[in-house]
Structure 1
């Protein structure tokens, strides 16, 4: 038995091996693994807290603390007399915090917003995705909410996490489409604009409202102000728990334009529904008193979300966003002011030159006709301006050549932008020369090109505003002015550059422009309601369409206060019959108002006895 027990015992030892301490093996293993795990966790904690502690604390803070931005009030735009051209009105907007929008509710929230705001789901989705679902910044979805939309959003607030409705000021243009091209409009910044501003180091964010056109765009840096906001603590649903700090927004700067609202109304009425432009300017310093372009638009449409139907209706009117006062066209006979200047200043002709005029001039076998097909007999430069004789100026161009014409076109400021603040909307026009023609048409300059140029036809292109600058040279005794819109108290000499014209040349031009009104092609303005005006008409051929028509005038002749240029695009007729009546209306309104402000003169005191 003892043997059996021993043998049995030995047999067990052989089969199972050593058993001493076996019961502690699993405990030791667990401790070992725990140490490894704790070491890994400790290392990770060490990394997170010490190595990346600042970064992670910032992330946690951003998830808990949000900045509720407050848009600054945009500056108000006034006319020269303090009347509001662009202001603000109270409305409501809706925005969304992507980080406070639960993943499982994103689709439902977007769908509900789409229904309430009548905005496509894809558009809302795109706005959120552009910012990113982890963004802590609120993303504007819609502005200018109707009362019904505001109420509906409040009723559905419980099922719209992360959505916020707040009161805000939106742009308001109290005069509707009046001076729309000058004032411009505002709209939400797009991605291209945002990227450009970012590259320039300017502080803009997606959803910002910026000037898109006109003075709103040109004076954006003055009008926009600086953002403010509240720093708040929020819960996981985006609900505000407490306000931690606040920065008051800085309102934009108010500005005054040189426009006269009442004169602008007259100019708008004068142009009516005709396609074209009117510019009224102080010829002494270039201050723009009125600027009209037709067709036009109501900038209030862009203060809220414009519908597709509204957009299509706008564009059916023939590009209403084009400021035709700043677009270039053939200047026609108004250009004869420059031809007169070049003819005398080049030394080719004496100031008292008299030329015989004819029904036509033969140049290289081509007949160039006078506008009346008869000629006007012998004329001097002032008489040629008075009757707008084409054959007189043909002869001037044929003898002196095109180079003096081009030289003086540039001295008058043609072929480049005038310097008005609407720089992105202004055309420089065109001063064609031999190099330009060779590049564009691969042709040499012909005599016929010079002949056409003398009467403002051919390739040249001039804007109504540039034409006003040209007339101002005659009105202010030989200075090229810089047109401007921002009212400034600086001395007018800062806006004027002498073009170095001889007094005798200037005298002849002024005398000719006065004769145009007293007995020439512009007698429509020879009325007692306008004190001694001077001006010039122009009719430009534009085949296969109707003529363009022009008329420019200033008054009083002795000491000009105002200059007006009217332009009709494919209007047909002549400058004296189509454009002159518009100029007449603006000048009459100006002097009527000026007379009213000054009041009647008091009788002189009589001496005693």
Structure 2
């Protein structure tokens, strides 16, 4: 009995102790929460009750170096609708009345409702975007996200834009594509199109779980969801759905008003105010809107703005920097680079809301603060001249006209040849001492104002290149000055000359131009010989620059006097030329604050790799029916193709190569053909040869530089050997003018003999005095140093529709069209590659007629014309400005000269100088004339 009593007491004591521990723990926890974390929990509670409705801050201004406005803001009327002020039973009526007002006044409405009508049926905008993207990228409509992604990868690889290894993960490939400027709308983690994911998320808002539902069925369900009567016509139904969907997209944030239309007219505003009783919840607010007062002026520098849209922008601005998802941001140019400086600080109206997010009361208000002002280094007047003269030059080259000017007329036609494909180009003007961009134009251009309220589909279509397959097709949104790198032609010859001088060449050493140098069965001719059968005779460095004598530069590039058949007293090679190019910044970015690509100094090792790739793609298409035992669909086919490519490193003899082909079971009658083809067209071309150095020395071959890089290199010659870091931004001024941040100017001395630079400058001065640019500057009052450059562009211009091109020439290929199409479909079905349809059709043609080559198939396409370069600085004795112009397919370097001349004239204030005479001065002139 006592034992039972003892056990009972123990249990009570244990229970009592446990209860005490629990209460002590609760007390400690409550004390911690109220004393230590009290402020945090209070803040959380407050945030559940109080919210902020932001008001947009005016975007910071962008001005030129003299303070002239380039990008500012103007007030605009924005139509808003607030859900908390709507009468639930009358939302549909309000929506109809509001949309009627907007439509009657032809206002643009933010139409984001994703079910659309093409006149015959309803469809999802999500699906349309996927289809349009596929069409633009030449991807079959039935390909899923994964296949589409790898098609883009393959196409980018084929174009040499990215390098791909077999073991690379899709995420790595996606980054490579992004870096190359490709953004496939595909989630590689889910292997779904991003538009498909958005579609599923949107349907889920209406509790529609069937992701395969068609647009018509979804439309009907959503119509029922909003209790829209059947007696309304389709236009009115869709108007209601548009407004209701916008309101629903706010979710818990329904206290925030929804923006329905931007930049509406005063007539619309007055109508809304008159009918305010009939449309409760609809208000008009004045918001700042971006405005570019000069239209397209400096558009490629200023850039464009737009709503946050891409996944990258959402991650950066919404998730990381806490922007609103509907915010406007800079997409390109200065607008993008200085986004956070230009944005300003939004104001807000603090409101009280209930548990459902509905507004109860307004509490307080904070005024928005404008963004800071960015001052550019450009002069807007000089920029205007640059753009107008560039456009004028292009138009005249296309018609073979004459550039008329008070400084002399220049005929833009050579041997009666008209370069009618000269439709785009760029010009850059730099301060040679500071690296400041004084003007920079790219044509065609665009008006950034069209992006401020949302660009229309028709406007966007007008901004797209006409031929998506042609890399030189004019692109209004593309800044050629900083984003296109091409061969510089003779504009590069100063680098070759300086490399030779630095190696010990006597600048007065004379080499006799014999017209051409024969090397490996090929003639490397001077332009004078090629065009007219002429020879320059004895040339030293200055004269060779004046006359742009290829023969001289061929000779000094390898340290050999071919006229005298003896070595020069200096050792020269391609490496010294390439090293000199790097010293002048041609292998690096310039430092400009807007988007730019870095041109690339050639690499002799790279030639072997590029030739290897070209060989692979060539024989992969050519040899599909060359083997006796396998077809192109066999896994062994790829293995054998790679084996043939691997032989390039050893370059076996012709006989050895024929034997190897036979061992690989190449058909007897084709073994010799393919052996000779790979040896003479590829193996022998893969290694760096004297001919490559010749091409290198005159700016041909694998050179690729932007106009901005070339302008900076010319500046370094003009300023006696200092490579500037380019800037297009002068300073940043706080919105309240309390602080100014001046952009630091930087330059680096190039380790070369300054005396040698003087010989380059003398040669460039002679170009305008008596050389290839004499006609342009013979009447010009300021001494200008210059160099013309004509760079060859090899290859054929791709067809707008490659498949249609191939089908239209089947008879010329001696191939049956039906057979070719059937074989192409068969190759496509058997292939593991994700290639465009026209690629399979091309393979089919080559299989059906093995005697053809790719060159034969492309022979009906037009050839590219030469690039025209003109590089210059002025004045010659105390250089201030360097101007470089590039005309795509402009034919001759001198044709780009008038652009530079007009800019230099404007810079020194001598344009239209006769117009500056005052009335009294003019009277005196007239009197003297009479006397």
TM-score range, shorter chain: 0.7 to 0.9
CA 282–467 in structure 1, closer or farther in 2 if over 3 Å, else same: same
The equivalent of 1:413 in structure 2 is: 585
Moved more, 235-244 or 368-377: 235-244
Verify the 8 A CA contact 2:84 2:359 in the aligned structure 1.
no
Give the Cα–Cα distance (whole angstroms) in 1 for the partners of residues 742 and 311 of structure 2.
Answer: 39
Give the Cα–Cα distance (whole angstroms) in 2 for the partners of residues 236 and 493 of structure 1.
Answer: 53
Residue from 111, 122, 132 that aligns with 2:113:
122
- 1:81 correspondence with 2:332: no
Give the Cα–Cα distance (whole angstroms) in 1 for the partners of residues 501 and 767 of structure 2.
Answer: 20
TM-score (norm 1): 0.81
Give the Cα–Cα distance (whole angstroms) in 1 for the partners of residues 792 and 703 of structure 2.
Answer: 13
The equivalent of 1:454 in structure 2 is: 697
Shift of 1:341: 1.4
The equivalent of 1:26 in structure 2 is: none
Residue from 773, 782, 801 that aligns with 1:531:
782
Q: Please state whether the residue corresponding to 1:362 is helix, strand or coil.
A: strand
TM-score (norm 2): 0.54
Residue from 571, 583, 605 that aligns with 2:890:
571
Give the Cα–Cα distance (whole angstroms) in 2 for the partners of residues 133 and 492 of structure 1.
Answer: 45
- 1:427 correspondence with 2:746: no
CA 131–364 in structure 1, closer or farther in 2 if over 3 Å, else same: farther
Q: Please state whether the residue corresponding to 1:144 is helix, strand or coil.
A: strand
Residue from 558, 563, 568 that aligns with 1:398:
558
Moved more, 113-122 or 378-387: 113-122
Deviations 1:241-270 (A, max 9, x none): 653122222211112111111111111111
Verify the 8 A CA contact 2:386 2:903 in the aligned structure 1.
yes
Shift of 1:580: 0.9
Shift of 1:129: 5.8
CA 571–595 in structure 1, closer or farther in 2 if over 3 Å, else same: closer
- 1:522 correspondence with 2:773: yes
Shift of 1:550: 1.0
Moved more, 440-449 or 117-126: 117-126
Give the Cα–Cα distance (whole angstroms) in 2 for the partners of residues 251 and 408 of structure 1.
Answer: 47
Residue from 307, 329, 341 that aligns with 1:222:
341
Residue from 330, 344, 347 that aligns with 1:211:
330
Shift of 1:299: 0.7
Give the Cα–Cα distance (whole angstroms) in 1 for the partners of residues 549 and 700 of structure 2.
Answer: 14
Q: Please state whether the residue corresponding to 2:494 is helix, strand or coil.
A: helix
Q: Please state whether the residue corresponding to 2:434 is helix, strand or coil.
A: coil
Give the Cα–Cα distance (whole angstroms) in 1 for the partners of residues 83 and 311 of structure 2.
Answer: 22
Structure with larger RCO (C-alpha < 8 A, sep 6+): 2
The equivalent of 2:383 in structure 1 is: 264
CA 106–190 in structure 1, closer or farther in 2 if over 3 Å, else same: farther
Q: Please state whether the residue corresponding to 2:730 is helix, strand or coil.
A: coil
Give the Cα–Cα distance (whole angstroms) in 2 for the partners of residues 493 and 533 of structure 1.
Answer: 29
Deviations 1:66-117 (A, max 9, x none): 4221111111111111111111111022345567778777777767666634
The equivalent of 1:542 in structure 2 is: 793
The equivalent of 2:546 in structure 1 is: 386
The equivalent of 2:714 in structure 1 is: 471
The equivalent of 1:587 in structure 2 is: 904
How many residues align? The count is 545
Shift of 1:371: 0.5
The equivalent of 1:339 in structure 2 is: 496
Shift of 1:156: 6.2
Shift of 1:145: 2.4
Shift of 1:526: 3.2
Verify the 8 A CA contact 1:370 1:390 in the aligned structure 2.
yes
Q: CA RMSD in A?
A: 3.4
Moved more, 209-218 or 119-128: 119-128
Shift of 1:60: 8.3
Q: Please state whether the residue corresponding to 2:476 is helix, strand or coil.
A: coil
Q: Please state whether the residue corresponding to 1:143 is helix, strand or coil.
A: strand
Verify the 8 A CA contact 1:360 1:370 in the aligned structure 2.
yes
Verify the 8 A CA contact 2:435 2:745 in the aligned structure 1.
no
Residue from 301, 326, 342 that aligns with 2:450:
301
- 1:553 correspondence with 2:853: no
The equivalent of 2:527 in structure 1 is: 371
Shift of 1:346: 3.1
Deviations 1:114-165 (A, max 9, x none): 6634443515577666653555444544432233444455566567666553
Shift of 1:368: 0.9
The equivalent of 1:192 in structure 2 is: 311
Verify the 8 A CA contact 2:427 2:886 in the aligned structure 1.
yes
CA 139–456 in structure 1, closer or farther in 2 if over 3 Å, else same: farther
Verify the 8 A CA contact 1:530 1:587 in the aligned structure 2.
no
The equivalent of 1:439 in structure 2 is: 609
Shift of 1:569: 0.9
CA 157–430 in structure 1, closer or farther in 2 if over 3 Å, else same: farther
- 1:508 correspondence with 2:759: yes
CA 506–153 in structure 1, closer or farther in 2 if over 3 Å, else same: same
Verify the 8 A CA contact 1:110 1:121 in the aligned structure 2.
no
Give the Cα–Cα distance (whole angstroms) in 2 for the partners of residues 192 and 311 of structure 1.
Answer: 21
Q: Please state whether the residue corresponding to 1:461 is helix, strand or coil.
A: coil
Q: Please state whether the residue corresponding to 2:264 is helix, strand or coil.
A: coil
Shift of 1:215: 1.4
Shift of 1:432: 1.8
Verify the 8 A CA contact 2:255 2:357 in the aligned structure 1.
no
CA 415–211 in structure 1, closer or farther in 2 if over 3 Å, else same: same
CA 132–564 in structure 1, closer or farther in 2 if over 3 Å, else same: same
Q: Please state whether the residue corresponding to 1:272 is helix, strand or coil.
A: helix
Shift of 1:395: 1.2
Structure 1: unaligned runs, 5 residues or longer? 1-46, 601-609
CA 211–346 in structure 1, closer or farther in 2 if over 3 Å, else same: same
Give the Cα–Cα distance (whole angstroms) in 2 for the partners of residues 594 and 87 of structure 1.
Answer: 29
Moved more, 435-444 or 475-484: 435-444
The equivalent of 2:681 in structure 1 is: none
Moved more, 407-416 or 440-449: 440-449
Shift of 1:434: 2.3
Deviations 1:215-238 (A, max 9, x none): 111222221111111113468999
